[in-house]
Amino acid sequence: MKTHEVARNIMTYLEAFHGSKPSMDTPQMLIVRGMSRKEIKPEEMAPVISDILDDIGARRIEVFSDEAKDIIGIMDENIRALVQIQGETDVYGIYRLKESFETMNCHVEYALGLLHNIAVFIILWMDKSEFGPKFVELVVANLES
């Protein structure tokens, strides 16, 4: 399964495909941002992400595991091949990302999944007022060279 197909399935599930924009599109990695038109309450965000991973047949990976560290390292290498980034890969940056969204008064949930050789990182976030859009950030990476 190719990265674009996985991303299309996820963005379609979230009703976020129309108007979504890739911020990185290479043979190894696709990063897409969009707004979900699906009605999702804050307490439903984590279950929705789990449903997505189940729906595409991906195995959920604990974000703070050695396996996740390896996957995030590969994703980071793919990004650094195109963009100059200061510092080293830091899996705890994901936790700080969630903290920063919460500091901005947002609900946020995320998960990492693995589908054969395709890694999927999904982030859903929305304002705590529950008004306005629900945002989707999606990273789909081919882990094979």
Q: Which residues span the domain enclosing 112?
A: 3-142
Asked whether the beta carbons of 109 and 134 are under 8 A apart, the reply is no
Tokens 């946020």 locate to 108
CB atoms within 10 A of CB 43: 9
Asked whether the beta carbons of 113 and 61 are under 8 A apart, the reply is yes
How far out from the chain centre does Cα 22 lie? Answer: 12
Average pLDDT over residues 14-35: 91
Burial class (CB in 10 A: 0-12, 13-18, 19+), 108: buried
Determine the longest span between alpha carbons in the chain, in angstroms: 43
pLDDT number for residue 97: 80
> Sorting pLDDT into bands at 50, 70 and 90, what band is 85?
low
Angle between helices 3-13 and 45-56 (to 10 degrees): 140
pLDDT number for residue 19: 85
Q: How many domains does the chain fold into?
A: 1
pTM, full prediction: 0.89
pLDDT number for residue 12: 95
> Sorting pLDDT into bands at 50, 70 and 90, what band is 145?
low
> Sorting pLDDT into bands at 50, 70 and 90, what band is 125?
very high
Over residues 28-84, the pLDDT tens digits come to 899 999 999 998 999 999 999 999 999 999 999 998 899 998 898 888 887 777 766
Residue 138 tokens, joined: 């999606």
